[in-house]
Chains A and B, each alone.
Chain A
Amino acid sequence: MTRRVTNQLPALVVFALGLVAWEWVFSPLAGKFLLPKPSAIATAFWHNRQLLSDAGWFTFKEALGGFVFGSAGGIVVAIVLARWRKVGEAVMPYAIAVNAIPIIAFAPITNAWFGPLNPHSKWAIAGILCFFPVLVNTLRGLTSVRPESIELMSSYAASQFEVFRRVRIPSALPFIFTGLKVGTVLAMIGAIVGDYFGGSTRALGVQIENSISLFDFPFGWAAIVVASAFGIVFYLAVGAAERLSVRGVPSTGD
Protein backbone atom coordinates (compact mmCIF):
# COMPACT_ATOMS: atom_id res chain seq x y z
CA MET A 1 0.00 0.00 0.00
CA THR A 2 2.76 2.44 0.95
CA ARG A 3 4.55 1.52 -2.26
CA ARG A 4 1.49 2.47 -4.25
CA VAL A 5 1.35 5.84 -2.51
CA THR A 6 5.02 6.60 -3.19
CA ASN A 7 4.53 5.47 -6.78
CA GLN A 8 1.82 8.02 -7.26
CA LEU A 9 3.47 10.78 -5.28
CA PRO A 10 5.28 12.36 -8.27
CA ALA A 11 2.01 12.53 -10.20
CA LEU A 12 0.23 14.19 -7.27
CA VAL A 13 3.03 16.74 -6.86
CA VAL A 14 2.86 17.56 -10.56
CA PHE A 15 -0.91 17.94 -10.25
CA ALA A 16 -0.64 20.41 -7.37
CA LEU A 17 2.17 22.40 -9.00
CA GLY A 18 0.28 22.38 -12.29
CA LEU A 19 -2.84 23.86 -10.71
CA VAL A 20 -0.83 26.56 -8.95
CA ALA A 21 1.05 27.46 -12.12
CA TRP A 22 -2.17 27.48 -14.13
CA GLU A 23 -3.94 29.78 -11.64
CA TRP A 24 -1.19 32.33 -11.16
CA VAL A 25 1.11 32.05 -14.18
CA PHE A 26 -0.41 30.49 -17.33
CA SER A 27 -3.89 31.88 -16.98
CA PRO A 28 -2.84 35.53 -16.51
CA LEU A 29 -0.33 35.09 -19.36
CA ALA A 30 -2.71 33.46 -21.80
CA GLY A 31 -5.72 35.62 -21.06
CA LYS A 32 -9.12 34.49 -19.89
CA PHE A 33 -10.27 33.38 -23.36
CA LEU A 34 -7.61 30.79 -23.81
CA LEU A 35 -7.29 29.61 -20.22
CA PRO A 36 -9.70 30.66 -17.49
CA LYS A 37 -8.33 30.20 -13.99
CA PRO A 38 -8.95 26.83 -12.33
CA SER A 39 -10.82 28.63 -9.57
CA ALA A 40 -13.20 30.14 -12.15
CA ILE A 41 -13.68 26.73 -13.78
CA ALA A 42 -14.32 25.10 -10.41
CA THR A 43 -16.88 27.78 -9.57
CA ALA A 44 -18.61 27.30 -12.92
CA PHE A 45 -18.67 23.56 -12.32
CA TRP A 46 -20.09 23.94 -8.82
CA HIS A 47 -22.93 26.17 -9.99
CA ASN A 48 -23.82 23.72 -12.77
CA ARG A 49 -22.84 20.45 -11.13
CA GLN A 50 -26.18 18.73 -11.70
CA LEU A 51 -26.47 19.81 -15.31
CA LEU A 52 -22.87 18.92 -16.13
CA SER A 53 -22.79 15.53 -14.46
CA ASP A 54 -26.11 14.60 -16.12
CA ALA A 55 -24.74 15.69 -19.48
CA GLY A 56 -21.49 13.80 -18.87
CA TRP A 57 -23.42 10.64 -17.95
CA PHE A 58 -25.65 11.04 -21.02
CA THR A 59 -22.66 11.31 -23.36
CA PHE A 60 -20.81 8.54 -21.55
CA LYS A 61 -23.74 6.20 -22.17
CA GLU A 62 -23.61 7.08 -25.88
CA ALA A 63 -19.90 6.31 -25.89
CA LEU A 64 -20.35 3.09 -23.91
CA GLY A 65 -22.97 1.74 -26.30
CA GLY A 66 -20.68 2.31 -29.26
CA PHE A 67 -17.70 0.93 -27.37
CA VAL A 68 -19.50 -2.32 -26.54
CA PHE A 69 -20.70 -2.97 -30.08
CA GLY A 70 -17.55 -1.72 -31.82
CA SER A 71 -15.16 -3.68 -29.60
CA ALA A 72 -17.22 -6.85 -29.67
CA GLY A 73 -17.37 -6.60 -33.46
CA GLY A 74 -13.63 -5.99 -33.67
CA ILE A 75 -12.82 -9.01 -31.49
CA VAL A 76 -15.20 -11.34 -33.34
CA VAL A 77 -13.91 -10.31 -36.78
CA ALA A 78 -10.32 -10.67 -35.57
CA ILE A 79 -11.02 -14.22 -34.38
CA VAL A 80 -12.55 -15.09 -37.73
CA LEU A 81 -9.57 -13.59 -39.58
CA ALA A 82 -7.11 -15.42 -37.32
CA ARG A 83 -8.93 -18.72 -37.84
CA TRP A 84 -8.84 -18.37 -41.63
CA ARG A 85 -5.36 -16.95 -42.02
CA LYS A 86 -5.46 -16.63 -45.81
CA VAL A 87 -8.44 -14.30 -45.59
CA GLY A 88 -6.84 -12.49 -42.67
CA GLU A 89 -3.61 -11.86 -44.56
CA ALA A 90 -5.55 -10.56 -47.56
CA VAL A 91 -7.77 -8.30 -45.44
CA MET A 92 -5.12 -6.95 -43.06
CA PRO A 93 -3.65 -4.26 -45.38
CA TYR A 94 -7.17 -2.90 -45.94
CA ALA A 95 -7.91 -2.83 -42.22
CA ILE A 96 -4.69 -0.86 -41.73
CA ALA A 97 -5.62 1.49 -44.56
CA VAL A 98 -9.07 2.08 -43.05
CA ASN A 99 -7.33 2.85 -39.76
CA ALA A 100 -5.66 5.78 -41.56
CA ILE A 101 -9.00 7.25 -42.65
CA PRO A 102 -10.41 10.18 -40.66
CA ILE A 103 -13.46 8.13 -39.68
CA ILE A 104 -14.64 10.90 -37.39
CA ALA A 105 -15.70 12.75 -40.56
CA PHE A 106 -18.53 10.21 -40.83
CA ALA A 107 -20.20 11.54 -37.67
CA PRO A 108 -22.63 13.70 -39.68
CA ILE A 109 -23.50 10.68 -41.79
CA THR A 110 -24.35 8.42 -38.84
CA ASN A 111 -26.50 11.31 -37.62
CA ALA A 112 -28.27 11.22 -40.98
CA TRP A 113 -28.67 7.45 -40.76
CA PHE A 114 -30.31 7.21 -37.38
CA GLY A 115 -31.45 10.78 -36.78
CA PRO A 116 -29.35 13.06 -34.59
CA LEU A 117 -31.57 12.62 -31.52
CA ASN A 118 -31.43 8.83 -31.65
CA PRO A 119 -28.57 7.63 -29.40
CA HIS A 120 -27.86 4.93 -32.00
CA SER A 121 -26.36 7.62 -34.21
CA LYS A 122 -23.66 8.17 -31.56
CA TRP A 123 -23.32 4.45 -30.94
CA ALA A 124 -22.61 4.01 -34.63
CA ILE A 125 -19.84 6.59 -34.90
CA ALA A 126 -18.29 5.64 -31.54
CA GLY A 127 -18.54 1.97 -32.49
CA ILE A 128 -16.92 2.38 -35.90
CA LEU A 129 -14.11 4.38 -34.29
CA CYS A 130 -13.47 1.59 -31.73
CA PHE A 131 -13.81 -1.23 -34.20
CA PHE A 132 -10.57 -0.87 -36.14
CA PRO A 133 -7.98 -0.41 -33.39
CA VAL A 134 -9.57 -3.31 -31.48
CA LEU A 135 -9.58 -5.45 -34.64
CA VAL A 136 -5.97 -4.69 -35.55
CA ASN A 137 -4.65 -5.20 -32.02
CA THR A 138 -6.63 -8.38 -31.40
CA LEU A 139 -5.54 -9.89 -34.69
CA ARG A 140 -1.93 -9.05 -33.92
CA GLY A 141 -2.30 -10.70 -30.52
CA LEU A 142 -4.00 -13.81 -31.85
CA THR A 143 -1.38 -14.36 -34.53
CA SER A 144 1.78 -13.50 -32.60
CA VAL A 145 1.71 -16.67 -30.51
CA ARG A 146 5.07 -18.46 -30.40
CA PRO A 147 5.12 -21.40 -32.83
CA GLU A 148 6.20 -23.80 -30.05
CA SER A 149 2.99 -23.01 -28.17
CA ILE A 150 1.00 -24.13 -31.17
CA GLU A 151 3.23 -27.19 -31.65
CA LEU A 152 2.61 -28.14 -28.04
CA MET A 153 -1.15 -27.99 -28.57
CA SER A 154 -0.72 -29.88 -31.81
CA SER A 155 1.16 -32.65 -29.95
CA TYR A 156 -1.99 -33.02 -27.80
CA ALA A 157 -4.01 -33.31 -31.02
CA ALA A 158 -5.92 -30.19 -29.95
CA SER A 159 -8.73 -28.90 -32.15
CA GLN A 160 -8.65 -25.35 -33.57
CA PHE A 161 -11.28 -24.41 -31.02
CA GLU A 162 -9.10 -25.61 -28.16
CA VAL A 163 -6.04 -23.83 -29.57
CA PHE A 164 -8.04 -20.59 -29.54
CA ARG A 165 -9.56 -21.17 -26.14
CA ARG A 166 -6.41 -22.21 -24.34
CA VAL A 167 -3.60 -20.43 -26.19
CA ARG A 168 -4.48 -17.78 -28.72
CA ILE A 169 -7.12 -15.88 -26.79
CA PRO A 170 -5.34 -15.89 -23.40
CA SER A 171 -2.08 -14.78 -24.97
CA ALA A 172 -3.89 -12.12 -27.02
CA LEU A 173 -5.55 -10.59 -23.95
CA PRO A 174 -2.89 -7.94 -23.30
CA PHE A 175 -3.11 -6.90 -26.98
CA ILE A 176 -6.91 -6.84 -26.83
CA PHE A 177 -6.80 -4.59 -23.79
CA THR A 178 -4.38 -2.23 -25.51
CA GLY A 179 -6.95 -1.92 -28.30
CA LEU A 180 -9.80 -1.51 -25.81
CA LYS A 181 -7.98 1.27 -23.96
CA VAL A 182 -7.49 3.15 -27.22
CA GLY A 183 -11.17 2.43 -27.88
CA THR A 184 -12.38 4.11 -24.67
CA VAL A 185 -10.80 7.40 -25.68
CA LEU A 186 -12.05 7.14 -29.26
CA ALA A 187 -15.58 6.27 -28.15
CA MET A 188 -15.81 9.42 -26.00
CA ILE A 189 -14.44 11.53 -28.87
CA GLY A 190 -16.90 9.90 -31.26
CA ALA A 191 -19.87 10.62 -29.01
CA ILE A 192 -18.86 14.25 -28.45
CA VAL A 193 -18.16 14.95 -32.12
CA GLY A 194 -21.44 13.23 -32.98
CA ASP A 195 -23.18 15.57 -30.54
CA TYR A 196 -21.47 18.53 -32.18
CA PHE A 197 -23.04 17.69 -35.54
CA GLY A 198 -26.44 17.57 -33.92
CA GLY A 199 -27.68 15.91 -30.78
CA SER A 200 -29.85 16.16 -27.70
CA THR A 201 -29.43 19.32 -25.62
CA ARG A 202 -28.79 16.97 -22.72
CA ALA A 203 -25.52 15.87 -24.32
CA LEU A 204 -22.17 17.20 -23.21
CA GLY A 205 -20.99 18.03 -26.72
CA VAL A 206 -24.03 20.24 -27.27
CA GLN A 207 -23.54 21.92 -23.89
CA ILE A 208 -19.93 22.71 -24.77
CA GLU A 209 -20.91 24.09 -28.17
CA ASN A 210 -23.63 26.32 -26.68
CA SER A 211 -21.44 27.66 -23.91
CA ILE A 212 -18.78 28.62 -26.40
CA SER A 213 -21.20 30.41 -28.67
CA LEU A 214 -22.24 32.39 -25.57
CA PHE A 215 -18.55 33.06 -24.74
CA ASP A 216 -19.05 31.36 -21.35
CA PHE A 217 -15.55 29.87 -21.28
CA PRO A 218 -15.37 28.86 -17.61
CA PHE A 219 -18.51 26.77 -18.16
CA GLY A 220 -17.04 25.36 -21.39
CA TRP A 221 -13.87 24.37 -19.58
CA ALA A 222 -15.86 22.86 -16.74
CA ALA A 223 -17.69 20.75 -19.35
CA ILE A 224 -14.37 19.78 -20.92
CA VAL A 225 -13.06 18.71 -17.51
CA VAL A 226 -16.21 16.60 -17.03
CA ALA A 227 -15.73 14.98 -20.46
CA SER A 228 -12.11 14.30 -19.67
CA ALA A 229 -13.00 12.90 -16.24
CA PHE A 230 -15.49 10.47 -17.76
CA GLY A 231 -12.87 9.52 -20.34
CA ILE A 232 -10.22 8.90 -17.67
CA VAL A 233 -12.56 6.84 -15.49
CA PHE A 234 -13.58 4.83 -18.57
CA TYR A 235 -9.91 4.23 -19.42
CA LEU A 236 -9.02 3.30 -15.84
CA ALA A 237 -12.01 0.95 -15.60
CA VAL A 238 -10.78 -0.97 -18.64
CA GLY A 239 -7.29 -0.94 -17.12
CA ALA A 240 -8.69 -2.44 -13.90
CA ALA A 241 -10.52 -5.11 -15.90
CA GLU A 242 -7.21 -5.85 -17.59
CA ARG A 243 -5.41 -6.39 -14.28
CA LEU A 244 -8.20 -8.69 -13.14
CA SER A 245 -8.23 -10.83 -16.26
CA VAL A 246 -4.55 -10.84 -17.22
CA ARG A 247 -3.36 -12.46 -14.02
CA GLY A 248 0.09 -13.92 -13.81
CA VAL A 249 1.53 -11.88 -16.62
CA PRO A 250 4.01 -9.32 -15.35
CA SER A 251 2.77 -5.88 -16.35
CA THR A 252 4.40 -4.87 -19.59
CA GLY A 253 3.36 -1.26 -19.26
CA ASP A 254 2.38 0.75 -22.29
Chain B
Amino acid sequence: MSVVELKNVTKTFARGNTIALQGIDLAIEAGEFVSLIGPSGCGKSTLLRTIGDLIQPTSGTIVVNGKPAQQARRDRDYGIVFQDPVLYDWRTVAKNIALPLEMLGWDRTRRAKRVQEMTELVELTGFEGHHPYQLSGGMQQRVSIARALSFSPALLLMDEPFGALDEMTRERLNTELLQIWQETGSTIVFVTHSIAEAVFLSTRVVVMSARPGRIAELIEVDLKQPRTQETREDPRYFELVTAVREALARGGADKITEEALVAGDET
Protein backbone atom coordinates (compact mmCIF):
# COMPACT_ATOMS: atom_id res chain seq x y z
CA MET B 1 0.00 0.00 0.00
CA SER B 2 1.26 3.49 -0.77
CA VAL B 3 1.93 5.72 2.19
CA VAL B 4 1.40 8.83 0.07
CA GLU B 5 -0.71 9.06 -3.04
CA LEU B 6 -1.03 12.34 -4.94
CA LYS B 7 -3.48 12.53 -7.82
CA ASN B 8 -3.48 15.49 -10.19
CA VAL B 9 -2.56 17.96 -7.43
CA THR B 10 -2.60 21.61 -8.47
CA LYS B 11 -1.94 24.64 -6.32
CA THR B 12 -2.35 28.23 -7.42
CA PHE B 13 -1.68 31.19 -5.20
CA ALA B 14 -4.27 33.91 -5.50
CA ARG B 15 -1.67 36.61 -5.16
CA GLY B 16 -0.02 37.12 -8.52
CA ASN B 17 -1.93 34.17 -10.01
CA THR B 18 1.17 32.00 -9.82
CA ILE B 19 0.76 28.30 -10.47
CA ALA B 20 2.96 26.74 -7.83
CA LEU B 21 2.08 23.14 -8.65
CA GLN B 22 0.44 21.66 -11.70
CA GLY B 23 -0.91 18.16 -12.20
CA ILE B 24 1.31 16.38 -9.70
CA ASP B 25 0.90 12.58 -9.66
CA LEU B 26 3.12 10.74 -7.25
CA ALA B 27 2.93 7.56 -5.15
CA ILE B 28 5.36 6.89 -2.32
CA GLU B 29 5.64 3.37 -0.89
CA ALA B 30 6.24 2.49 2.75
CA GLY B 31 9.92 2.60 3.70
CA GLU B 32 10.94 4.71 0.72
CA PHE B 33 13.29 7.68 0.98
CA VAL B 34 12.14 10.14 -1.67
CA SER B 35 13.93 13.39 -2.43
CA LEU B 36 12.30 16.36 -4.15
CA ILE B 37 14.84 18.41 -6.04
CA GLY B 38 14.49 21.36 -8.37
CA PRO B 39 15.37 24.98 -8.92
CA SER B 40 14.22 27.75 -6.58
CA GLY B 41 10.56 28.48 -7.18
CA CYS B 42 9.71 25.02 -8.53
CA GLY B 43 7.26 24.43 -5.70
CA LYS B 44 9.08 21.59 -3.95
CA SER B 45 8.49 23.11 -0.51
CA THR B 46 4.88 23.79 -1.48
CA LEU B 47 4.52 20.16 -2.51
CA LEU B 48 5.95 18.99 0.83
CA ARG B 49 3.55 21.28 2.69
CA THR B 50 0.54 20.06 0.74
CA ILE B 51 1.46 16.45 1.60
CA GLY B 52 1.62 17.55 5.27
CA ASP B 53 -1.72 19.40 4.99
CA LEU B 54 -0.04 22.65 6.01
CA ILE B 55 -1.24 24.03 2.67
CA GLN B 56 -4.40 22.83 0.96
CA PRO B 57 -4.23 22.11 -2.79
CA THR B 58 -6.45 24.04 -5.18
CA SER B 59 -7.51 20.78 -6.81
CA GLY B 60 -6.58 17.11 -6.80
CA THR B 61 -6.48 14.56 -3.99
CA ILE B 62 -3.87 13.67 -1.42
CA VAL B 63 -4.19 10.34 0.38
CA VAL B 64 -1.86 9.50 3.25
CA ASN B 65 -2.05 6.06 4.87
CA GLY B 66 -5.35 5.55 3.07
CA LYS B 67 -6.87 8.72 4.57
CA PRO B 68 -7.29 12.28 3.36
CA ALA B 69 -4.25 14.40 4.33
CA GLN B 70 -6.23 16.40 6.86
CA GLN B 71 -7.31 13.25 8.70
CA ALA B 72 -3.71 12.00 8.63
CA ARG B 73 -2.58 15.27 10.24
CA ARG B 74 -5.24 14.95 12.92
CA ASP B 75 -4.05 11.38 13.54
CA ARG B 76 -0.51 12.76 13.97
CA ASP B 77 0.91 10.77 11.08
CA TYR B 78 3.52 13.43 10.24
CA GLY B 79 6.86 14.36 11.65
CA ILE B 80 8.23 17.57 10.20
CA VAL B 81 11.77 18.96 10.10
CA PHE B 82 12.32 22.45 8.68
CA GLN B 83 15.51 24.08 7.44
CA ASP B 84 15.43 26.17 10.58
CA PRO B 85 15.35 23.80 13.59
CA VAL B 86 12.35 25.72 15.08
CA LEU B 87 13.25 24.78 18.63
CA TYR B 88 11.64 26.61 21.50
CA ASP B 89 14.28 28.62 23.32
CA TRP B 90 12.43 28.40 26.62
CA ARG B 91 12.48 24.60 26.59
CA THR B 92 15.45 22.35 27.25
CA VAL B 93 16.57 19.78 24.69
CA ALA B 94 14.63 17.06 26.51
CA LYS B 95 11.49 19.18 26.67
CA ASN B 96 11.75 20.16 23.03
CA ILE B 97 11.91 16.50 22.06
CA ALA B 98 8.99 15.72 24.37
CA LEU B 99 6.78 18.50 22.93
CA PRO B 100 4.73 16.30 20.57
CA LEU B 101 4.53 13.59 23.26
CA GLU B 102 2.99 16.10 25.68
CA MET B 103 0.42 16.95 23.05
CA LEU B 104 -0.35 13.27 22.57
CA GLY B 105 -0.98 13.03 26.29
CA TRP B 106 1.87 10.66 27.17
CA ASP B 107 2.58 10.48 30.89
CA ARG B 108 5.84 11.70 32.40
CA THR B 109 7.65 8.37 32.76
CA ARG B 110 6.78 7.26 29.26
CA ARG B 111 7.96 10.62 27.91
CA ALA B 112 11.24 10.43 29.83
CA LYS B 113 11.92 6.94 28.52
CA ARG B 114 11.28 7.96 24.92
CA VAL B 115 13.37 11.14 25.25
CA GLN B 116 16.24 8.99 26.47
CA GLU B 117 15.89 6.66 23.48
CA MET B 118 15.73 9.61 21.12
CA THR B 119 18.78 11.43 22.51
CA GLU B 120 20.68 8.16 22.14
CA LEU B 121 19.45 7.78 18.56
CA VAL B 122 20.65 11.26 17.54
CA GLU B 123 23.74 11.03 19.76
CA LEU B 124 22.88 13.88 22.09
CA THR B 125 23.06 11.98 25.37
CA GLY B 126 24.28 14.35 28.07
CA PHE B 127 22.76 17.42 26.45
CA GLU B 128 19.19 16.85 27.68
CA GLY B 129 19.30 19.79 30.10
CA HIS B 130 20.84 22.24 27.64
CA HIS B 131 18.89 25.05 26.02
CA PRO B 132 18.89 25.33 22.21
CA TYR B 133 21.07 28.44 22.08
CA GLN B 134 23.83 26.49 23.83
CA LEU B 135 24.04 24.03 20.94
CA SER B 136 25.69 24.24 17.51
CA GLY B 137 23.55 24.38 14.37
CA GLY B 138 24.11 20.70 13.64
CA MET B 139 23.15 19.67 17.17
CA GLN B 140 20.04 21.84 17.02
CA GLN B 141 18.99 20.11 13.84
CA ARG B 142 19.50 16.71 15.50
CA VAL B 143 17.16 17.80 18.29
CA SER B 144 14.66 18.77 15.64
CA ILE B 145 14.96 15.34 14.03
CA ALA B 146 14.60 13.60 17.39
CA ARG B 147 11.47 15.63 18.05
CA ALA B 148 10.01 14.69 14.67
CA LEU B 149 10.71 10.99 15.24
CA SER B 150 9.76 10.88 18.93
CA PHE B 151 6.18 9.80 18.35
CA SER B 152 7.08 7.36 15.53
CA PRO B 153 5.08 9.07 12.78
CA ALA B 154 4.36 7.07 9.67
CA LEU B 155 5.83 9.77 7.47
CA LEU B 156 8.77 12.09 7.99
CA LEU B 157 8.69 15.33 5.97
CA MET B 158 12.00 17.19 5.77
CA ASP B 159 12.31 20.63 4.17
CA GLU B 160 16.00 21.22 3.37
CA PRO B 161 16.91 20.20 6.90
CA PHE B 162 20.65 20.46 6.35
CA GLY B 163 20.58 23.47 4.02
CA ALA B 164 21.99 25.90 6.57
CA LEU B 165 24.81 23.63 7.78
CA ASP B 166 28.42 23.47 6.70
CA GLU B 167 29.48 20.72 4.30
CA MET B 168 31.19 18.50 6.88
CA THR B 169 28.34 18.59 9.37
CA ARG B 170 25.97 18.00 6.51
CA GLU B 171 27.72 14.83 5.36
CA ARG B 172 27.87 13.46 8.88
CA LEU B 173 24.19 14.14 9.46
CA ASN B 174 23.38 12.55 6.10
CA THR B 175 24.98 9.30 7.26
CA GLU B 176 23.25 9.52 10.65
CA LEU B 177 19.90 10.18 9.01
CA LEU B 178 20.29 7.03 6.88
CA GLN B 179 21.07 4.98 10.00
CA ILE B 180 18.00 6.36 11.73
CA TRP B 181 15.90 5.68 8.65
CA GLN B 182 17.04 2.04 8.59
CA GLU B 183 16.59 1.56 12.34
CA THR B 184 13.10 3.04 12.39
CA GLY B 185 11.92 1.88 8.99
CA SER B 186 10.13 5.18 8.45
CA THR B 187 9.12 6.72 5.15
CA ILE B 188 10.87 10.00 4.36
CA VAL B 189 10.09 12.80 1.92
CA PHE B 190 13.09 15.08 1.68
CA VAL B 191 13.38 18.46 -0.04
CA THR B 192 16.87 19.55 -1.06
CA HIS B 193 18.86 21.86 -3.31
CA SER B 194 21.82 19.55 -3.40
CA ILE B 195 22.12 16.93 -6.15
CA ALA B 196 24.79 15.00 -4.25
CA GLU B 197 22.68 14.89 -1.12
CA ALA B 198 19.59 13.74 -3.01
CA VAL B 199 21.43 10.89 -4.72
CA PHE B 200 23.31 9.79 -1.61
CA LEU B 201 20.23 9.62 0.60
CA SER B 202 17.33 8.57 -1.58
CA THR B 203 15.81 5.46 -3.00
CA ARG B 204 14.13 7.70 -5.55
CA VAL B 205 14.71 11.29 -6.71
CA VAL B 206 11.82 13.40 -7.95
CA VAL B 207 13.18 16.07 -10.30
CA MET B 208 10.91 19.08 -10.54
CA SER B 209 10.79 22.01 -12.94
CA ALA B 210 9.43 25.47 -12.38
CA ARG B 211 6.71 27.74 -13.80
CA PRO B 212 4.48 25.93 -13.37
CA GLY B 213 5.89 23.53 -10.79
CA ARG B 214 5.59 19.98 -12.05
CA ILE B 215 7.41 16.67 -11.96
CA ALA B 216 9.98 16.55 -14.76
CA GLU B 217 11.46 13.11 -14.14
CA LEU B 218 11.62 10.29 -11.60
CA ILE B 219 15.03 8.71 -11.11
CA GLU B 220 15.44 5.38 -9.27
CA VAL B 221 18.58 5.33 -7.12
CA ASP B 222 19.78 1.72 -7.16
CA LEU B 223 22.88 2.22 -5.00
CA LYS B 224 23.27 -0.64 -2.53
CA GLN B 225 22.30 -0.30 1.14
CA PRO B 226 23.60 0.53 3.67
CA ARG B 227 25.29 3.55 2.20
CA THR B 228 28.63 4.70 3.61
CA GLN B 229 31.45 7.06 2.74
CA GLU B 230 32.49 4.58 0.03
CA THR B 231 29.15 5.11 -1.68
CA ARG B 232 30.28 8.64 -2.53
CA GLU B 233 33.15 7.12 -4.56
CA ASP B 234 31.06 4.48 -6.34
CA PRO B 235 31.05 5.03 -10.17
CA ARG B 236 27.29 4.34 -10.15
CA TYR B 237 26.91 7.26 -7.71
CA PHE B 238 28.57 9.60 -10.22
CA GLU B 239 26.39 8.29 -13.03
CA LEU B 240 23.27 9.03 -10.99
CA VAL B 241 24.50 12.49 -10.02
CA THR B 242 25.02 13.20 -13.71
CA ALA B 243 21.58 11.80 -14.54
CA VAL B 244 19.89 14.10 -12.00
CA ARG B 245 21.91 17.09 -13.21
CA GLU B 246 20.90 16.44 -16.81
CA ALA B 247 17.26 15.96 -15.81
CA LEU B 248 17.37 19.32 -14.05
CA ALA B 249 18.88 20.94 -17.14
CA ARG B 250 16.18 19.40 -19.35
CA GLY B 251 13.61 20.81 -16.96
CA GLY B 252 15.05 24.23 -17.67
CA ALA B 253 16.63 24.58 -14.26
CA ASP B 254 19.57 26.69 -15.35
CA LYS B 255 17.36 29.13 -17.19
CA ILE B 256 14.90 29.39 -14.34
CA THR B 257 17.26 29.63 -11.41
CA GLU B 258 18.50 33.14 -11.99
CA GLU B 259 15.04 34.45 -12.64
CA ALA B 260 13.78 32.73 -9.50
CA LEU B 261 16.64 34.14 -7.48
CA VAL B 262 15.56 37.61 -8.46
CA ALA B 263 11.90 36.91 -7.75
CA GLY B 264 12.66 35.14 -4.48
CA ASP B 265 11.74 31.61 -3.49
CA GLU B 266 8.08 30.88 -2.91
CA THR B 267 8.82 29.53 0.53
Q: Is there an interface contact between B78 and A155, defined as CB atoms closer than 8 Å?
A: yes
Smallest CB gap from B131: residue in A: A248
Contact with B along A173-206 (1 / 0, CB 8 A): 1000000000000000000000000000000000
With A151-B54, A167-B88, A170-B88 already in contact, the answer to whether A158 and B103 are too (CB < 8 A) is yes
Residue from the list A152, A171, A173 in contact with B80, Cβ < 8 A: A152
A3 interface hit (Cβ, 8 Å) = no
Residue from the list A152, A154, A157, A246 in contact with B90, Cβ < 8 A: A246
Distance in angstroms from A144 CB to nearest chain B CB is 14
Main secondary structure on chain A at its contact with chain B? Answer: helix
Q: For residues 126 through 185 of chain B, which have their beta carbon under 8 Å from a beta carbon of chain A?
A: 131-133, 157
* Chain B residues positioned under 8 Å from A149 (CB to CB): 86, 88
B84 interface hit (Cβ, 8 Å) = yes
Bound together, the chains give a CA A157 to CA B54 distance in angstroms of 10
Q: Is there an interface contact between A249 and B89, defined as CB atoms closer than 8 Å?
A: yes
Bound together, the chains give a CA A162 to CA B102 distance in angstroms of 11
Chosen A-B contacts, 23 in total, with CB atoms closer than 8 Å, are A148-B82, A149-B86, A151-B80, A152-B80, A154-B54, A155-B54, A155-B78, A155-B79, A155-B157, A156-B76, A156-B100, A157-B75, A162-B103, A166-B102, A167-B88, A170-B90, A247-B131, A248-B91, A248-B92, A248-B131, A249-B131, A250-B89, A250-B133
A86 interface hit (Cβ, 8 Å) = no
Bound together, the chains give a CA A231 to CA B54 distance in angstroms of 48
A146 interface hit (Cβ, 8 Å) = yes
How many A-B contacts if CB must be within 8 Å? 60
Contact with B along A127-153 (1 / 0, CB 8 A): 000000000000000000010110110
With A152-B80, A162-B103, A248-B131 already in contact, the answer to whether A173 and B90 are too (CB < 8 A) is yes
Total count of chain A residues near the partner, CB < 8 A: 21
Q: Is there an interface contact between B86 and A146, defined as CB atoms closer than 8 Å?
A: yes
Bound together, the chains give a CA A246 to CA B91 distance in angstroms of 10
* Chain A residues positioned under 8 Å from B113 (CB to CB): none
With A151-B80, A248-B92, A248-B131 already in contact, the answer to whether A157 and B74 are too (CB < 8 A) is yes
With A152-B86, A249-B89 already in contact, the answer to whether A166 and B133 are too (CB < 8 A) is no
Distance in angstroms from B134 CB to nearest chain A CB is 9
Smallest CB gap from A167: residue in B: B88
Bound together, the chains give a CA A1 to CA B90 distance in angstroms of 24
Bound together, the chains give a CA A100 to CA B170 distance in angstroms of 51
Smallest CB gap from B95: residue in A: A248
Q: For residues 84 through 107 of chain B, which have their beta carbon under 8 Å from a beta carbon of chain A?
A: 84, 86, 88-92, 99-100, 102-103
Which 8 pairs, one residue from A and one from B, show the smallest C-beta to C-beta distance?
A248-B131, A157-B74, A155-B80, A148-B86, A249-B89, A148-B82, A170-B90, A248-B90
* Chain A residues positioned under 8 Å from B79 (CB to CB): 155
* Residues on B facing A (Cβ under 8 Å): 49, 52, 54, 73-76, 78-80, 82, 84, 86, 88-92, 99-100, 102-103, 131-133, 157
Distance in angstroms from A172 CB to nearest chain B CB is 11
Smallest CB gap from A245: residue in B: B90
Bound together, the chains give a CA A146 to CA B84 distance in angstroms of 10
Q: Is there an interface contact between B73 and A152, defined as CB atoms closer than 8 Å?
A: no
Bound together, the chains give a CA A50 to CA B74 distance in angstroms of 64
* Chain A residues positioned under 8 Å from B157 (CB to CB): 155
With A152-B80, A166-B99, A250-B133 already in contact, the answer to whether A157 and B86 are too (CB < 8 A) is no
Bound together, the chains give a CA A199 to CA B260 distance in angstroms of 67
Bound together, the chains give a CA A171 to CA B91 distance in angstroms of 11
* Chain A residues positioned under 8 Å from B80 (CB to CB): 151-152, 155
Smallest CB gap from A246: residue in B: B90
Q: Is there an interface contact between B99 and A157, defined as CB atoms closer than 8 Å?
A: no
Bound together, the chains give a CA A171 to CA B103 distance in angstroms of 18
* Chain A residues positioned under 8 Å from B75 (CB to CB): 157
Bound together, the chains give a CA A249 to CA B89 distance in angstroms of 6
* Chain A residues positioned under 8 Å from B103 (CB to CB): 156, 158, 162, 166
Smallest CB gap from B132: residue in A: A248
Smallest CB gap from A170: residue in B: B90
With A156-B103, A162-B103 already in contact, the answer to whether A148 and B90 are too (CB < 8 A) is no
Bound together, the chains give a CA A156 to CA B88 distance in angstroms of 15
| Beyond A148-B86, A249-B133, 7 additional pairs, beta carbon < 8 A | A154-B73, A155-B73, A166-B99, A166-B102, A246-B90, A248-B89, A248-B91
